Amino acid sequence: MKPRLPYIDNAKAVLITLAINICALLLFNWPGGISYAGAMWDSLFCAVITTIINMCIVYGRLLKMRKLGAMPVSFPESKFIQRLPQNPILLVIIYATAFAAVTTGINAVILLFFGIDKMSFLPWAIYKLIYSTVLSIKIVEFCIFRYVQPDWANAQNNGHTETGGSSTGSTVKNPWPSISLFKEIYGSVTANIVTNLIIGSILGGVITRPDGSVLIFPTTVEGIPITGLAFGLIAGILVTKGIVTAMDETIIASIPLETRNAAPTDRRFTWMPVGKVPLTILVCICLMIFSALALPAVMMLFGKTVLNFFQYSIFITVYATIICKPLSFILIQRCMQSDYISVLKKRQ
């Protein structure tokens, strides 16, 4: 079962990272915004600082847990990760270099692709806070992933896993992206593109010429709410079906029959329907409304009134990647509630 957090609470590290980024925004980018070159240097700085902060917090916490015998008993073992150094300073250097390269590369591609050579303060502040939050979460996960590996975690136990303390039942999240997530994102994006081509053909946005060639008109800020509605419907159906099916199988396989009624109850999630069909309908409605409002808002925020077909494809892919993560979390939490597990138990 997918845990809410990767073994230890990463809220502190993320909040410290955000606080530093807000200070940096006000100090270096207020009120004139940032240039393309400045954004690249900022990406390097953000990745390095974030790695250092997160490593200090994670390594200190895990040292205490190892002394108390509270290391996890359930974790995905990785031979590749175990080849990385145990020394936190050396590991920081490797992680900082890797994440700096990835962060700078992604930001460079995104800004170049959308033809952005300068960003005013508000769009840049929103963009940076979003990517720095995601970056901090991923770095925390990779830091934890390294130090729960048995070559370090069991060093004080002569290689024998400690099962005492608070470690019982703890599960470590694998930070590498899963194939299933890519399939869900790819499925929703490709289906959405095809749907918009069909809608465009009906409404006149896509024209098939007599010679068989296809002319695709750019996506405008006025027309993209229709895209949001189509995306919300498709993504809501695909993601809900995938998550609920996987959770049903996981719950049945991993939770003993006599303890299935001992699941937690959280009112933030129990108001949602238990049945798969009504839950899917609710998710689709919410996601359709949100996407129809969010997509034009993001375009206007970044000063884009028109997107060509390739820009639109990247834009909707990034949006899908971001929005599917919290949606998956909400669905997972809904499936873990006691009322849902009770209904699932009756079906067996």
| pLDDT (tens digit per residue) in 19-46 | 888 888 888 888 888 888 889 999 998 8
Q: Mean per-residue pLDDT for 166-183?
A: 58
* Partner residues linked to 35 by β-bridges: 118
Higher pLDDT, 213 or 304: 304
Does this model's pTM top 0.85?
A: no
Tokens of 74: 């359930």
Three-state DSSP class for residue 208: strand
Which stretch of DSSP H or E encloses residue 143?
Answer: helix 121-147
Tokens of 324: 């599917």
Is the pLDDT reported for residue 79 higher than 60?
yes
Return d(Cα 194, Cα 180) in angstroms, integer: 21
pLDDT confidence of residue 82:
84
Return d(Cα 150, Cα 173) in angstroms, integer: 15
Return d(Cα 15, Cα 127) in angstroms, integer: 16
Confidence of residue 237 (pLDDT cuts 50, 70, 90): very high
Confidence of residue 131 (pLDDT cuts 50, 70, 90): confident
Of 178-182, 200-204, 243-247, give the range with the top mean pLDDT: 243-247
The distance from CA 25 to its chain's CA centroid, rounded to whole angstroms, is: 23
Q: Mean per-residue pLDDT for 279-285?
A: 95
| DSSP assignment letter at 234 | H
Confidence of residue 258 (pLDDT cuts 50, 70, 90): very low
Q: At 179, which amino acid appears? A: I
